[in-house]
Amino acid sequence: MVKVLMKGNEVIAEAAVHAGCKYFFGYPITPQSELVAYMAKRLPEVGGLFLQAESEIAAINMVYGAAGTGVRVMTSSSSPGFSLKQEGISFLVGSELPAVICNIVRGGPGLGNIQPAQSDYFQVTKGGGHGDYHIPVLAPASLQEIVDLTQDAFDIADRYRTPVIIMGDGMLGQMMEPVEFYEAKPKEVPKKDWATTGTRGDGGPKIITSLELNAESLEKHNHHLQAKFKQIKENEVRFEAYETEDADYILVAFGTVARIAMNAIRKARQEGIKVGLIRPISLWPFPEKPFIDTRDKVKSYITVEMSAGQMIEDVRLAVNGHAPVDFFGRTGGVVPTQEEIYHKIISVAGGVEV
Amino acid sequence: MITVYEKTKGLTDKPTHYCPGCTHGIIHRIVGEVLAEMDILEDTIGVASVGCSVLSYEYFNCDMTQAAHGRAPAVATGIKRVLPDRFVFTYQGDGDLASIGMSEVIHAAARGEKITVIFVNNAIYGMTGGQMAPTTLIGQKTVTSPEGRNPNIQGMPIRISEMISTLDGAAYIERVSTHDVPHIAKVKKAIRKAFETQKKGIGFSLIEVLSTCPTNWGIDPIESLEWMKNNMIPAYPLGVYKNIGERE
């Protein structure tokens, strides 16, 4: 297969088409608008349908309707728009409907700006909407990884009947890299015998709902959801560990920040400082194992984020007091530089500032 | 023995939770009858909304989806766009449709979504205990307009059928009432017309059905029907507001 040079947002869209997604309901918002435009052009070519909704709220509810018929369906947005989708996402979880939602994160809070950020980490990993839930969140660091993870996102959604979030930052959405698409091996996903497509030929009426007025019944449903989340935690953790075996210091970063951190690590290694990287790829379920494996050996972890420090809370939980956890972050759309991260490593390592 | 009246196949055996005297039951039955008589029950997906009719998914004898408050037309859009040969309807009250869901219904109508909206207008929020709705009449007392709706404070009521009928995508819009038997017969005719509009693929259809809420209006069921006739119909005149099929 040949490599093609594409923009991140377009790669997500094309990868979704390769994953069998034929329906997309979206609303324009920078910096993910190319995704919407790509789908508008592309989906009719594969016999699918693109519809521009009147709002992000309508878009996620159109996704809810389409998902209920059993098709692979997707929507995307960026932070302020993603906030608007929370109600619908909570309903998708409650009604157990599979869908893929992409959040190309920008600076916040409020209208913020259109620069890259990771400050929606809490929102995507801790539930986001009302109720007791988690959603699988995949955070690619490169455009090629988007291709793999988008396929995974649809498979996970179908396998567990859950919405799945693909989280990138504005940089990932806007950058161009060569990527290679491939026909994915069809994954075993359960038959969607719960879909509401009319009862002709399939017995009695089916109901899709998240309402359960009886407290004991709703608790039972919540226990069922929790059991599913536990299963997802057991099966769907993804991470990359880079040079952590001999590391005295381990950086923790995800998405594009991990790539910048990687360069800082190489420079520090040249200076003789043993630094490694843990890159969570699934932000939820958060990868605890690489921390358990390293927390009694390292001198310190350094979490690097494009936020005021959100993932650091999960890092601390995984480290569980076995080692100090330091932090370096830039917010508001400022991207941390390789030098800044390098200097942070030096300062934590007790070396002389270069 | 000759059967002169029986339960429609369009409804399940589940007893409804509606208050005595509420006209939701009549409207449910009519929707069920129309689906059964058109023989489209098996090809229909209904969308329940939030409010008194939230549990309608247990009463209609077809595939059903329960939507977030006000979002039923967007959910119905998602279903219909994937399954254009199926029948899709929403069943929404005035709080759900005319307040929180105004955006969704207007845009579904503007796009000419080939869905049918059953809009039940009883001028009050029932499920939450009798609060003011966008359709609450001037002077009408509710728990959130205890002195009666004052246009200077709470603003004017909204006429949905008139408003939606101005949109080019709206194909069939009619307002009907459940206050007596002849008018109930008209309700059925209107709802049938709406589903036939959908069948022909002409565009968006909405039937506004004036309905009672004895519990929250604080009057008995018979009096409620009278009150509806004398107060609601002057504010919400009955009739066909849009019929593209006929025009063509």
CA A70 to chain centre: 22
Interface mutation target, options B17, B59, B71, chain A, most CBs of A under 10 Å: B71
- Name the residue among B43, B64, B74 with its Cβ closest to that of A58: B74
A36-75 tens-digit pLDDT = 999 999 999 999 999 999 999 999 999 999 999 999 999 9
- Name the residue among B42, B61, B65 with its Cβ closest to that of A65: B65
Torsion angle, CA of B156/B161/B166/B168, rounded to 10 degrees? 150
Rounded to an integer, what distance in angstroms lies between the CA atom of residue B90 and that of residue B228? 23
B175-184 tens-digit pLDDT = 999 999 999 9
Contact between B67 and A61 using a beta-carbon 8 Å cutoff: yes
Rounded to an integer, what distance in angstroms lies between the CA atom of residue B101 and that of residue A169? 31
A168-227 tens-digit pLDDT = 999 999 999 999 998 777 778 899 999 999 998 887 899 999 999 999 999 999 999 999
Query: A131 with A94: CB under 8 angstroms?
Result: yes
Give the range among A177-191, A336-350, B27-41, B146-160 with minimum mean pLDDT: A177-191
| pLDDT reported for residue B246 | 67
Rounded to an integer, what distance in angstroms lies between the CA atom of residue B109 and that of residue B204? 5
CATH number attached to the domain at A240-349: 3.40.50.920
Nearest-CA neighbor of A102 among A131, A159, A59? A59
- Name the residue among A63, A198, A207 with its Cβ closest to that of B78: A63
Question: Which domains does chain B possess?
Answer: 24-126+155-247 (3.40.50.970)
The CATH number of A4-184+209-235 is which of 3.90.199.10, 3.30.470.10, 3.30.1330.10, 3.40.50.970? 3.40.50.970
Residue B4's contacts (CB-CB under 8 Å, 6 or more residues apart) are none
**Domain boundaries, given as residue ranges, for chain A:** 4-184+209-235, 240-349
Tokens representing B37 are 């008589």
Fold identical between A4-184+209-235 and A240-349? yes
Residue A353 pLDDT class (50, 70, 90 cuts):
very low
- H/E run at residue A39: helix A33-42
Interface mutation target, options B40, B82, B115, chain A, most CBs of A under 10 Å: B82
| pLDDT reported for residue A351 | 64
**Surface of B (20-49) touching A: CB under 8 A:** 41-45, 47-48
Nearest-CA neighbor of A295 among A269, A261, A325, A272? A325
How far does A199 lie from chain B, in Å, by closest CA?
5
Could you report the predicted ipTM of this complex, rounded to two decimals?
A: 0.96
